[in-house]
């Protein structure tokens, strides 16, 4: 029987399938169902900076920037009294989850500033979190804010959280950085033991009849796997941090590709929201069957085997692959 075990953030996991932050973990029953289905760890849904600062109305500078000019911008933020359970209830649920399941539970903090909300990292640790995922969900719209300044904000956030806790810390990134390998390396140096690739920004739509901006959630598909797959393969062996691949993980083949690219774990939510928690067991069965068919004895054996450092044509992950891909398309099909 193939050995599916792996390690992530110093945690020994029975397999590389981790449930990422989603509404599934808003109730205690969700944790137990995920464990029973075979998930090796669970990332709790995120505790947002806005939730923590809401009671004092001390929203951070980044969040309030521009609202003096566009008063309606404040309406973009949900009614936080009904948006999610508050920070105290979050910590209580975390503590109960740790008492209920035997798999690791990873807390999640979502924010952009270096405010007092970061103290909740320590409170999550005290509540029993095995690790913490820092989810920096920030889209720069200020023309005066440079890329270097934005990257420095990320570094400062990691340093601030790292100073609060002893448990392992991972940071969830987005792919929209000019020099992602450099930033990844600096984040690892600042104390991030893991990098989660990638955050999926919720994209707004326009209602042309009501003339309103209407943010809505679109669940991922396997076609989105290619971006995190590419960067996982590039960063593997170059950055001193564990890599978690998320965004587009829906099948056993997706998990296998992620492992070969160099990921320690895959994280999935959309597939579970679409097709049920039982998909975890089905995906794991598919991974194990494939490994036995192709005579892989362990997940560790395949990790990084198709990273940029390991493949015969490393340029396939870079610009050289662009021309090759274009040449592979048969233009005669459109005439």
CA distance 134 to 107: 9
Query: Tell me: the pLDDT tens digits for 95-123?
Result: 999 999 999 999 999 887 777 788 899 99
- When the pLDDT of each residue in the chain is averaged and rounded to a whole number, the result is 87
The full set of domain ranges for the chain reads 6-334
pLDDT tops 50 at residue 288: yes
Choose among 238, 249, 161, 242: nearest CA to 200. Answer: 249
CA distance 255 to 18: 11
CA distance 195 to 121: 17
Task: Determine which of 16-30, 63-77, 210-224, 266-280 has the lowest per-residue pLDDT on average.
Answer: 63-77
Across-strand partners of 298?
Answer: 3
CATH code for the part of the protein at 6-334:
3.20.20.70
Q: Among positive and negative, which fits the CA dihedral 298, 300, 305, 310?
A: negative
DSSP string, 1-62: --B--EEETTEEESSSEEEPSSGGGGSHHHHHHHHHHT-SEEEPPPEEHHHHHHTTT---HH
Percent of the chain with pLDDT over 70: 85
pTM of the predicted model, to two decimals?
Answer: 0.86
- The half-sphere exposure of 317 on its side-chain side, counting CA atoms within 13 A, is 21
How many CB atoms lie under 10 A from the CB of residue 36? Answer: 13
pLDDT at 205: 85
């Amino acid at each position: 029987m193939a050995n599916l075990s792996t390690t992530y953030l110093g945690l020994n996991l029975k397999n590389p399938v981790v449930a990422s932050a989603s509404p599934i973990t808003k109730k205690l029953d969700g944790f137990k169902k995920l464990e029973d289905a075979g998930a090796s760890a669970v990332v709790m849904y995120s505790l947002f900076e806005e939730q923590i600062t809401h009671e004092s109305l001390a929203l951070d500078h980044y969040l309030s920037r521009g609202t003096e000019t566009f008063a309606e911008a404040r309406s973009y933020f949900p009614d936080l009294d009904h948006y999610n359970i508050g920070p105290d209830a979050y910590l209580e649920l975390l503590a109960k989850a740790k008492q209920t399941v035997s798999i690791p539970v990873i807390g999640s903090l979502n924010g952009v500033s270096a405010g007092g909300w970061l103290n909740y990292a320590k409170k999550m640790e005290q509540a029993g979190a095995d690790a913490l995922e820092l989810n920096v969900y920030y889209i720069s719209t200020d023309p005066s804010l440079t890329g270097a300044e934005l990257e420095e904000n990320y570094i400062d956030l990691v340093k601030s959280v790292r100073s609060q806790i002893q448990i392992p810390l991972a940071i969830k990134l987005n792919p929209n950085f000019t020099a992602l390998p450099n930033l990844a390396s600096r984040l690892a140096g600042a104390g991030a033991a893991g990098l989660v690739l990638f955050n999926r920004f919720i994209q707004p739509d326009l209602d042309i009849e009501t003339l309103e901006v209407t943010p809505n959630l679109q669940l991922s598909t396997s076609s989105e796997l290619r971006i995190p797959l590419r960067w996982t393969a590039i960063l593997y062996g170059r950055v001193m941090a564990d890599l978690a691949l998320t965004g587009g993980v829906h099948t056993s083949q997706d998990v296998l590709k992620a492992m070969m690219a160099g990921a320690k774990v895959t994280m999935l939510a959309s597939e579970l929201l679409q097709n049920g928690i039982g998909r975890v067991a089905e995906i794991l069965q598919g991974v194990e069957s494939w490994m036995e068919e192709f005579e892989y004895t362990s997940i560790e054996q395949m990790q990084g085997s198709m990273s940029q450092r390991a493949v015969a044509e490393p340029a396939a992950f870079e610009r050289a692959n662009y021309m090759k891909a274009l040449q592979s398309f048969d233009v005669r099909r459109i005439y």
